[in-house]
Amino acid sequence: MSRNSRLVSAVSLFVALCPVLVRAQNLPPAQGRRSGRHQSCAEKAGISREVVHKRKALEQEAHSQIRSVCADSSLSDKQRRERIKQIHQNLHEQVQSLMTPEQFEALKACQRELHPGGGHAGGRAGGPCAAP
């Protein structure tokens, strides 16, 4: 291949890739990752990091309790559902007590904006005790 034909090929390839490179630069950040410019819902609601950490600890404890309920073979399915419902209700009350009503509502509103349609996107069909 002559030098000129290699140069023409290289320039043609560059010109062909330019639109792809420009689009890649203009893409929004991937969902789930925050850049330094974006605030979390907790930050937008004015909730301190300490409260966020307490909430996370409460959620982890609730999940541990749910795993224990699921592992208890002496319980019927109905009893499991009732106990898990109570754990969720207690968690909700505890989390709500960590913040003002205004902060709680602002947090929920922000989360609804991020996840329209609600629901538990990662939830298992069959409930928390369903086999993975």
Mean pLDDT in consecutive groups of 10 residues from the start of the chain, 132 residues: 56 52 52 58 93 96 97 96 97 95 93 80 67 67
Residue of 92, 84, 89 whose CA lies nearest to 67:
84
Domain for residue 126, yes or no? no
The tally of domains found in the chain comes to 1
- CA torsion, points 65, 70, 72, 75, in degrees to nearest 10? 110
In a domain, 129, yes or no: no
Angle ∠(48,50,52) on CA atoms, nearest 5:
75
Does 51 reside within a domain?
yes
Range of the domain at 70: 41-114
Q: Is residue 52 part of a domain?
A: yes
Would residue 71 count as lying in a domain?
A: yes
pLDDT, residue 130, reads 77
Q: Residue 23 domain-assigned? A: no
CB 58 within 8 A of CB 91: yes
In a domain, 46, yes or no: yes
Rounded to whole angstroms, the Cα distance separating 107 from 63 reads 21
Is residue 77 included in any domain, yes or no? yes
